[in-house]
Amino acid sequence: MGMMKEFKEFAVKGNVMDLAVGVIIGAAFGKIVASLVENILMPIVGVMLKGVNFATLTVKVGEAEIKYGLFISSIIDFIIIAFVLFLVIKGINNMRKKEAAAPAAPPAPTNEEKLLMEIRDSLKK
């Protein structure tokens, strides 16, 4: 029963739950970006390239059909996702730097430090 208890503790720890939420949100974000690229960006790029539809760009090699247009769309998906993640991580790092840069209040002196200050002040007199 010890292994089950250890697994249960591991599975419900905050880090594992945060990771699970991150994976689910990442998958949903990927679908949104894929839709953005497929339905908005690629038609605009196609118009700029005089009507090229990337979904139909293929090359026949014998009986095989190589769909390099879809590959180009996937590369654009990746670049957009990577850029957005870069911006998000950069923003988080900037927030952390600002929090770290904020000076912390000095800790209250300990009883020993107070006693030493009293001795110092007495000696000055």
Packing angle, helices 14-36 and 68-101, rounded to 10 = 130
For 104, the token pair is: 């912390």
pLDDT digits 0-9 by tens, 1-49: 688 888 777 777 767 777 888 888 888 888 888 888 778 887 888 788 8
User: Which value, to the nearest 10 degrees, does the dihedral of the CA atoms of residues 45, 46, 49, 53 take?
Assistant: 140
pLDDT digits 0-9 by tens, 73-106: 888 878 887 887 788 888 888 888 877 776 777 7
pTM for the model stands at 0.54
CB atoms within 10 A of CB 121: 9
Local structure of residue 61 (DSSP, 8 states): E
Cβ contact 54:72 at 8 Å = yes
Domains of the chain, start order? 2-124 (1.10.1200.120)
For 97, the token pair is: 């730097």
